[in-house]
Structure 1
């Protein structure tokens, strides 16, 4: 009887060793299941989702800021165009004012010349009147000193004096007409000068208004440019912070992915070891049944280890893999 059971005892020890290995492997798989379950229940995924939402919100905010910057640039371009138009109008008004200044100077000079001519003609007219009066007085005194003896004869006419008088009168009339023309020309020039002064005043008021509007536009343009620069600086800083946060989260995601790949590889290795152990256990069980065909019907109490082995085999055949990464 002792010789009959010695091979069985050795096989029993070997089977017990393999069953111990299977138990250790099941404990390792259970521990791995717990780790994987804890991994899926940890807050990393929630943190990743929150970071994704933050990145999406930051991207939307960044696009909105870019749109605001584009609108501000368009507004600045509009103000620049308006400024250029106002500047061109301002330069045109200044050119008109300078032209009117030249016209005014010319008219003032012409007025001065005409006034000098009028003064000279008035002096000449006064001189002619004075000479005419003196000649008339001399002529009257000569007529008073003469005695006409022949009463029946008509008095003689001094043709020379008559011609001289006619010439003086013609010259006086000519000077009078010329003076009237000069007075009319002076009045016309004076009216033109007054009109030019009025136009200059209006243009000066227009230029002042344009300068005020130009200054207002320049102030608004400077304010918009300052606001645009501050906005670009602020959102550039925020974008840089978001980019740094994204880079940090990407590094964490890569680290988590590498860790999950390592755990997956470890799981595959353990699963391969378990499969080979199950195959070896099945092979030893078949060998045991082949060598001891009459042993299986024996009562379990005589060979309790076989009942334990059968329960282990049944348990391993009934176990199912569960989880997101594998089924146990």
Structure 2
């Protein structure tokens, strides 16, 4: 192998190394599409660091290539040595860079999956929160209805008590008048008077109580529902 051929092969190997790394980075960029700005910035910084390492290795290989070429020129064209072990070192470095890039892509996928899971939990939480607020509003409305029904019930009970008192007073007067009339006639004269039947307050009160109980039961069932 001559000096010029050795230098040409080393440059080709470096160009192949750089091209392979560029392809890996392009594939990694494809995997990173759609992430948030902070994650993208972090990954871009990592990729930039990897590129800097690659450039540093290329520069070191270029210096090594120059030294090899200089040595060949000094030793003469007849002397040749085996530098295959350098290619193995370069290949190992390429494998390490490829493994680091694959690991970075795997971490990016895990971050993306975690973000999707967090968004799902956030959506569920917001839905449950809206449902809870709606139920609390309904409960508060039913409490107001229950308070109104309680006031209505109290008012009806007071009206019933008032009607009872009004009924007791005419009844008492009627009994007193009957007693006076019986005392005057001595129980010997029977007087029949045709008159229109009076208002049955007891029946009216009973009807009002029945209507109130039906209405209260229906409102209570509506409140429970």
Mapped pair 1:28 → 2:75: yes
Mapped pair 1:195 → 2:224: no
Shift of 1:55: 1.5
CA contact (8 A) 1:100 1:196 kept: no
Mapped pair 1:117 → 2:164: no
Query: What residue is the counterpart of 2:141 in the other structure?
Result: 99
Bigger Rg over Cα: 1
Shift of 1:121: 1.0
Unaligned runs of 5+ in 2: 1-71
What is the alpha-carbon distance in structure 2 between the residues aligned to residue 192 and residue 108 of structure 1? 14
What is the alpha-carbon distance in structure 2 between the residues aligned to residue 100 and residue 27 of structure 1? 101
Query: What residue is the counterpart of 2:204 in the other structure?
Result: 178
What is the alpha-carbon distance in structure 1 between the residues aligned to residue 173 and residue 181 of structure 2? 12
Aligned length: 154
CA contact (8 A) 1:104 1:196 kept: no
Deviation sequence 1:61-98 (CA, Å, 0-9, x none): 22122122212111111112111211111111111101
Given the superposition, is the C-alpha separation of residues 27 and 182 from structure 1 closer, same or farther in structure 2, using an over 3 Å criterion? closer
CA contact (8 A) 1:121 1:179 kept: yes
What is the alpha-carbon distance in structure 2 between the residues aligned to residue 108 and residue 118 of structure 1? 15
What is the alpha-carbon distance in structure 2 between the residues aligned to residue 27 and residue 70 of structure 1? 57
What is the alpha-carbon distance in structure 2 between the residues aligned to residue 95 and residue 74 of structure 1? 32
Shift of 1:26: 11
Mapped pair 1:141 → 2:183: yes
Unaligned runs of 5+ in 1: 1-24, 149-154, 200-328
Alignment of 1:32-111 (within 5 A): 33-34=80-81, 37=82, 40-42=83-85, 44-111=86-153
What is the alpha-carbon distance in structure 1 between the residues aligned to residue 74 and residue 130 of structure 2? 90
What is the alpha-carbon distance in structure 2 between the residues aligned to residue 85 and residue 56 of structure 1? 44
Given the superposition, is the C-alpha separation of residues 74 and 33 from structure 1 closer, same or farther in structure 2, using an over 3 Å criterion? same
Instruction: State the TM-score, normalized to the length of structure 2.
Output: 0.58
Shift of 1:32: 5.0
Where 2:76 maps in the other structure, the secondary structure is helix
What is the alpha-carbon distance in structure 2 between the residues aligned to residue 140 and residue 26 of structure 1? 158
CA contact (8 A) 1:107 1:189 kept: no
Query: What residue is the counterpart of 1:230 in the other structure?
Result: none
Q: Does 65-74 or 181-190 show the bigger shift?
A: 181-190
Alignment of 1:286-297 (within 5 A): none
Shift of 1:29: 2.2
CA contact (8 A) 1:118 1:179 kept: yes
What is the alpha-carbon distance in structure 1 between the residues aligned to residue 187 and residue 204 of structure 2? 39
Alpha-carbon RMSD? 3.0
What is the alpha-carbon distance in structure 2 between the residues aligned to residue 26 and residue 95 of structure 1? 91
Q: Which runs of 4+ in 1 moved over 3 A?
A: 196-199
Given the superposition, is the C-alpha separation of residues 189 and 30 from structure 1 closer, same or farther in structure 2, using an over 3 Å criterion? same
Instruction: State the TM-score, normalized to the length of structure 1.
Output: 0.41
